[in-house]
Chain A
Amino acid sequence: MSAIRQAFVLINIYTLIFLLCWLITNLLIEKKIIENIDKKLSYDIESISLVWQSEKKLTLRSSKDSYYMIAPNSYGYVGRIVKGAIFPENIINLKEGFHNVELIGEKGKRLSARALLSKINSDLFVSAQSLTTLIQINKTINQIFLVSFIFSAIFITIGLFSIARNTQIKISNIEKNLNYIKSGRLKTRIKLKGDDDLVRVSNSINETTQQLENLMEQFKNQSANLAHDLKTPLTSLRLNLEQKISSNKLNKKSIRESILQIDHIINIFDTIIKIARIQSGSERKKFKKIKLIDFGKEIFETYGPVIEDRGFKTYYNSFDGSKIKLDKDLIFILVTNLIQNSLKYSKKDTIIGITFGPDQILIEDEGPGIPLNLMSKVIEPMYRLKRESKGGGYGLGLSMVKAICEIHNGELIIKNRENKKNGLAVGIKFINQAT
């Protein structure tokens, strides 16, 4: 249902409820006034009957709205004593009790009245009261309700329709932009002003589209880089084999070299697939809450000896803290990549430190660090600081680290070490994880 139709339905519901309230208010007030009049009439009848029995006369004087009549049986009900108004001729035929009647008042003016008929010792006593006040009150209430209805209805109609129109425009805007996004125009963004729910939804859609655009961009770059990086070893492999065949030198050694080159290509593939899987979030289900300090001990037990055997010094710092929700396998990959980089870029005999806890993991080395202008570049897939270096690597390590940080909602720490001439500190800081 469109927003305008919803507004129309709401206004109809409001009108119905208003009318119902109006009716109920009228009925309740009328009932209360009639009850009071009836009480007064009963009291008046009692008074005039008592005086009649002792003095045979009608002593109560009619006030502005009260009228009395006595029709004694001794007169055969014909002779009547009346005060204040003319009672209808047939009133003596009515049953005892309360009745709504019409009297003729001063200057022959007809008036509605409430009357009580009572026969005491076979004489008929009638006491009546004008209903002018009740009618006046009813009229006033109706006027109040009508005026408030007109004003509130106008106000609500204008308010609701403007809100509905505004909503309708925003929804159409979102719909139009989503159709653009659907058709592949990922640069489309929904521009809405304000701070309502639809603006928040639009902002979320914009963020998702941005993410999608980034991923597509990454995918395009990755595919292009992948094609480039695979073509090089494949070309070299092909040339190598061709050369060996033409020179009849295809022996075990050359075949083993070719296998190594193929393994290299397979590794690139595997790494890219792994990054894609991490980025897709499908690895999230293996997350468990563990203490970094315990996990760090296990990691250092594995990597401490590796670092030392490669001719470096090492240390392990641990800080106790809350449990962190993480995927151990992925964090193992993260640490492996960072240690690998430190081993690759640092000079022998320098120190590579491992720190775990309370909410971060940090690998620090005394290598050359990263020039500030290249800090953002190094986390791009296939980017290598030393492309000419023979240290291997596919330039995928830090993009893998970044993907692992993102899936943990963590922050990638990458900074040149303060107060050190050389050195880099890289790691992950877990955010909003404390329990």
Chain B
Amino acid sequence: MKILLLEDDGSLGPWLKENLNKIGNSVDLFTDGDKALIAGLKIQYDIMVIDRMVPGLDGLEMIKNIRERGIDTPTIFLTALNDIDNRIQGFDAGGDDYLSKPFALEELISRINALSKRTNFKKNKASSDFLRSGDLEIDLTNRQCFRQKQKIELNNKELMILEYFIRFEGQKLTKSMLLELVWNINHDPTTSIVETHISRLRSKIEKPFNDKLISTIRSSGYVYKSK
């Protein structure tokens, strides 16, 4: 993926660039908003990772400018401004996701991957009310789930988790991403909400069929893969 990275921190910026490049991306690093804006307007990026407080044009204004010119490159704000107002400002300006500092690199990579996938299914209008993944089917209108044509009773939250797993199939979904997507909360409740619901979901969609659809990635996230 071609990524525009706007980060003025002398050590964090180059470190991020190096690590994102390592996994096969091509990252252009900018340390001030004006230059990043010019690049964002001229070059077609797949993802933009933007720090909000940077010299020159700040990150928020930069994205507003880009959106006003009709460019809808998916954008993640990366910032220490973590309160709800700042999040709303970020989304209002045209951001698609918001990750607060300090963060784990794995979390950022998962969000970049998910965002690129989310943009794809938005473009393809694949976000229909009927989802099929291997032998698993979800009817979102009637809130029903079937595997190998057998009906599986899932509660609302389990169904939502499964829906996002299918929509982001093959991508790692971190615990905080699931908390945001399913429970709409952007803090860690430090209770095992996600673990418990995934464990229950597994017992319903995996156990009776003796196989594994959801893998745990070193307790930092989950990946769903259909059979």
Contacts and interface: CB of A to CB of B under 8 A. Distances in A.
Interface stretch (B3-11, B40-48, B193-201): B193-201
A302 B183 contact: yes
B187 interface: yes
A302 B199 contact: no
A336 interface: yes
Interface stretch (A196-204, A266-274, A413-421): A266-274
B190 interface: yes
A273 B102 CA distance: 14
B141 interface: no
Interface in B61-93: 82-85
A286 B84 contact: yes
30 contacts: A262-B102, A266-B102, A267-B188, A267-B190, A270-B82, A273-B83, A277-B83, A283-B84, A301-B156, A301-B157, A302-B157, A302-B193, A302-B197, A303-B191, A305-B197, A305-B200, A306-B196, A309-B196, A310-B192, A329-B84, A332-B183, A332-B185, A333-B187, A333-B189, A336-B189, A336-B191, A340-B189, A340-B190, A343-B191, A392-B190
B155 interface: yes
A378 interface: no
Interface in A205-241: none
A340 B185 contact: no
A339 interface: yes
A285 to B, nearest CB: 9
B187 A274 contact: yes
A306 B199 CA distance: 10
The 10 closest A-B pairs by CB, nearest first: A336-B189, A306-B196, A309-B196, A305-B196, A305-B200, A340-B191, A306-B191, A306-B193, A301-B155, A301-B157
Interface string A305-349: 110011000000000000000000100110010011001000000
Contacts of A336: 189-191
B119 to A, nearest CB: 27
A306 B192 contact: yes
Nearest to B192: A306
A302 B158 CA distance: 10
Interface of A: 262, 266-267, 270, 273-274, 277, 282-283, 286, 301-303, 305-306, 309-310, 329, 332-333, 336, 339-340, 343, 392
A117 to B, nearest CB: 94
A370 to B, nearest CB: 21
A277 B187 CA distance: 14
B102 A282 contact: no
Contacts of B155: 301
A282 B185 contact: no
A421 to B, nearest CB: 27
Contacts of A273: 82-83
A309 B199 contact: yes
Interface in B127-181: 155-157
A277 B155 CA distance: 34
A283 B88 CA distance: 13
Contacts of B191: 303, 306, 336, 339-340, 343
Contacts of A309: 192, 196, 199-200
Interface string B14-32: 0000000000000000000
Nearest to A397: B190
A312 to B, nearest CB: 12
A262 B101 CA distance: 13
Contacts of B157: 301-302
A282 B85 contact: yes
Select the residue from B184, B189, B197 with max chain A CB neighbours within 10 A: B189
B193 A303 contact: yes
Nearest to B190: A340
B25 to A, nearest CB: 23
A4 B25 CA distance: 79
Interface string B186-226: 01111111001101100000000000000000000000000
Select the residue from B82, B187, B192 with max chain A CB neighbours within 10 A: B187
A339 B196 CA distance: 15
A333 B189 CA distance: 7
Contact of A270 (B156, B187, B193, B197): B187
Nearest to B155: A301
Contacts of A392: 190
Contacts of A306: 191-193, 196
Contacts of A343: 191
B107 to A, nearest CB: 12
Contacts of A332: 183, 185, 189
Contacts of A333: 187, 189
Contacts of B82: 270, 273
Contacts of B189: 332-333, 336, 340
A182 B167 CA distance: 58
